[in-house]
Amino acid sequence: MSLLRSLALLVLTLPPTLPLLVLIPRGFPHLLPPRDLDVVLHTGMLAMGGTLMALGLGLTLAYLAVRGGAGLIWESLLLLNYLVPPFVTGMGILFSLQVLGVKAYGVLGILMAWTLHYTPLAYLLLKPQVEGALPLLQTARVHGVMGLRRLRAFLPPLFPPLLVAGGTLYLALLGNFGVPAVLGLPERVYTLPTLVYARLTNPLAQDPLGEAATLGLWLGLLALPALLLSRPTLLEAKTPLLEKPHLSLRFLFALYVLGSLGLSLLGLLREALFNPFTGRLDPVFAQALALPLFRQGLLHSLLLSLLATGLLLSLALLLKPFPQALRVARGALDLTYLMPGTLLGIGLILLLAPTSLYGTPWLLLLAYLLHFAALALRSLEAGMRVEGAVLAGRVHGLPFWRSWLRLGYPLLLPSLFASGFLLFPLAFAEVTLSALLYAPGSETVGVTVLSALNGGLYREAAALGLILAGVAALGLLGRPRW
């Protein structure tokens, strides 16, 4: 029995991790003597800087929201900043700062875009912990501790959750391709993901795959410390008994939300709706959609994201009746989601380049399935507990699968609905894997936007960015009513 269990675990864990494992034999020979150490250090420092900025701002917003009583509407608008694809946020900052005569390219622009995009994620991770720690401030005040001295009671319990949230943010920033591609490449400011793309597309490179695999190994080494930050949080996520909400704090929260959304979207709106020479209203959506490349990009992304979402939700429903298999599969697939997508893309190229799958949209679909599977499995794993209803059906004589079909699965429909509205926008706007794996003629919408920017079609790129922002807003429909 133990042998069968070990074989089952191997079958569930080996395929998802195989694309990451093939990087080692191909990239290790190029690892020494070390090259591109400047880009390695620059990528790590940039990701750490962005993580600290997003963490600090997310913690501040969590405090403002809890003490100010921010409602569902304001929190949803804040979350929209995270649902909008990162490279669209980068474009929005680029066009918004151009209006003010400020240059957004380079390190400062990348950090600004990362901070605006990932602060809502830090907020979501830290808000329950802030709710659990705020009673400590009240206790300190009761005992006569006032002013900044109260932070000595408030901050120490938050350190473990801050480390876990920081690790999650660091991994996201480390593997981000879209923002450095929009704001870094024009100034030749490289991070490891963009350098991988440059090496793979360089016709003069002697061994582009080997060099890309080596850069992938460096990326994995930078990500390794953050993967180890998986300690559970020490504070119970519950709503404490708080004082009357402070309207001034709610106002500050709303002010940040409106300011961040304005910085991300107003530049896109101005670029897409107004003629840059005359200043008159001249929407460019029709011209953008008339371009064959844009229509193909939208169609390919729509089909790939719908197919990936449907397959992943079907897989999650299939595994839901088997909790142990679901946990094992999710644990293996967590790695392909948390690790930078560049590693998965390089691994799939190395693994499948000799096959007929390479150079087809099916390879991109496989990459989407591997990358987003953990989200689908987690959404149903953390959804409504339906095992009791299924057990009741079994007690009353229903067979195993019939009890799930009649009782279990219908109760999971809300979780399935929420998961679908989370997965579809993420897959629709995915750009890291798409930039590495797309074949000519099968471009996705993210690749199309980057191509338009590189070709000087700024207004058309802004129009597509607004379309992507609208699709991203669908994710709010699946959000729980907190």
Q: Judge whether residue 425 has pLDDT over 50.
A: yes
Q: Judge whether residue 412 has pLDDT over 70.
A: yes
Q: Give the C-alpha separation, 433 to 24, whole Å.
A: 19
Q: Specify whether 251 is located in the same domain as 294.
A: no
pTM above 0.75, yes or no: yes
Listed in sequence order, the DSSP H helices in 203-246 are 208-227
62 found inside a domain: yes
Q: Give the C-alpha separation, 335 to 84, whole Å.
A: 24
Nearest CA to 253 among 76, 83, 475?
76
Q: Specify whether 148 is located in the same domain as 273.
A: yes
Q: Last residue of some domain: 259, 282, 305?
A: 282
Nearest CA to 201 among 310, 337, 349?
349
Rounded to the nearest integer, the mean pLDDT of the chain is: 84
Q: Specify whether 309 is located in the same domain as 272.
A: no
Q: Specify whether 238 is located in the same domain as 291.
A: no
Q: Specify whether 390 is located in the same domain as 275.
A: no
Q: Specify whether 340 is located in the same domain as 263.
A: no
- In percent, the amount of the chain with pLDDT more than 90 equals 36
Domain range for residue 307?
284-482
226 found inside a domain: yes
Q: What's the pLDDT tens digit per position in 171-188?
A: 999 999 999 999 999 889
pLDDT (0 to 100) of residue 148: 58
Q: Specify whether 127 is located in the same domain as 273.
A: yes
Q: Last residue of some domain: 282, 313, 332?
A: 282
Nearest CA to 110 among 89, 85, 124, 95?
89
113 found inside a domain: yes
Residue 480 confidence class, pLDDT cut points 50, 70, 90? low
Q: Give the C-alpha separation, 395 to 403, whole Å.
A: 10
Q: What's the pLDDT tens digit per position in 93-105?
A: 999 999 888 888 9
Q: Where residue 203 sits, what CATH number does that domain have?
A: 1.10.3720.10
Q: Specify whether 145 is located in the same domain as 275.
A: yes
As for how many domains the chain has, the answer is: 2
14 found inside a domain: no
231 found inside a domain: yes
Q: Specify whether 218 is located in the same domain as 274.
A: yes
Q: Last residue of some domain: 231, 264, 282?
A: 282
Q: Specify whether 331 is located in the same domain as 477.
A: yes
Q: Specify whether 476 is located in the same domain as 416.
A: yes
173 found inside a domain: yes
